[in-house]
Amino acid sequence: MPDASITRFENVGLRYGLGPEVLQDVTFSLAAGSFHFLVGESGAGKSSLLKLMYLALKPSRGLISLFGKDIATTPRQELPALRRQIGVVFQEFRLLNHLSTFDNVALPLRVAGVREGDVVRHVAELLEWVGLKDHMKARPPTLSGGQQQRVSIARAVIARPKILLADEPTGNVDDRMALRLMHLFEELNRLGTTIVVATHNTALVERLGYPVMRLDAGRFSLIEGSGNVSPARAWHESRESGPESAKARRRPRRARPESETDETDADPPGIENFL
C-alpha cells in the first residue's frame, strides 16, 4: 500500500537502557504539508519524540516510517539520504563553533555534495534573507542568541527539507522574534514543507491555531487545531495577488481577527524568492 504520509508512527515505544518507557504507544501520521505543534511538560518526551523523528534514536518497539520507508528495515547506508530531507532546528542550536556562519549554513549542502559554486550562491542568498549578511564570517560564539537561532534555522532549511522539526525554536527569543520565526515557518509550510514545532509557548500555540500533538508523561494525544488563523498567514493572504495566490488558495481562507494584526511588525521579504 503506498504511504502518502511524510512520517508515520505506529505503537512506538522508547526506553533508554533498562529504564521506564519515556514514550508509550505513540501513533500518528503527518500528512505532507501539515503544520503541528508539539507540546508537553518538561520531561514529557518531546525531545525524545523529535529525536526519533530525525533519526537520532531507534525506537524500542513499534514502527516508524519516513517518506514511506520503514526505518527498521532501511539499510543503514540509505539513512543519510533520508536525513537530508529532514531539517532540524536543535534546541541548543548545535552550531559548529569553529566554523563561520557561512560554513555552518553551508554544511548540509556540502555534506550532500552540492557544487561549491551553488553552495556559495544559495547560502549567501539565505543569509541575506535572514538578516545575517553582515555576519557571514562571524563565528557562532560571537553572535547573540537570536542571531545564533537564525543561523540554526537557516542551516535547517538551506537544503529545502521535506519536513522541518524545530525543538523550542522560540525558547530564547522575545515574543516579537518568536512571531517572526513563526512567519518564517509558515512561509516554508505554505511552500509545501511539513512542520513540527515543539514549544512551551502556549500563547503562541493558541494564537496560531494549528493542530497540537500533546505528550503527557510519554502518552501521546492529538488535538485538532482551534481554527484561529495566524496573523502571519492572514498578513500574507491579505497581500497576495497574481501568480502567488494560486498557491495560497490551497488553504481555506479564514477570517482575520483585527486585534492581532499589530504584532506583524517587520515586512518579511518573500522567501519564495529564495526558495
Of 6 and 205, nearer to other proteins (C-beta) is: 6
194/188 Cα distance (integer angstroms): 8
Of 94 and 253, nearer to other proteins (C-beta) is: 94
Place of cell 525543538: 167
Of 30 and 88, nearer to other proteins (C-beta) is: 88
Which residues of this protein are in contact with other proteins, per CB under 8 A?
Answer: 54-58, 76-77, 79-84, 86, 88, 94, 96, 98-99, 103, 107-108, 110-112, 155, 159
Q: Min. distance of Cβ 98 from other proteins in angstroms?
A: 4
List the one residue out of 187, 146, 145 whose CA is nearest residue 164: 187
Q: Which residues contact 242 (CB under 8 A, 6 or more apart)?
A: none
Single-letter residue type at 53: M
Q: Min. distance of Cβ 130 from other proteins in angstroms?
A: 18
Q: Min. distance of Cβ 60 from other proteins in angstroms?
A: 13
Of 58 and 133, nearer to other proteins (C-beta) is: 58
Q: Min. distance of Cβ 245 from other proteins in angstroms?
A: 34
Of 140 and 209, nearer to other proteins (C-beta) is: 140
Question: What does the DSSP assignment read for 21-68?
Answer: EEEEEEEEEEPTT-EEEEEE-TTSSHHHHHHHHTTSS--SEEEEEETT
User: 158 to each of 52, 117, 125, how far by Cα in Å?
Assistant: 22, 15, 10
Sign of CA dihedral 156, 158, 163, 169: positive
Q: Min. distance of Cβ 124 from other proteins in angstroms?
A: 17
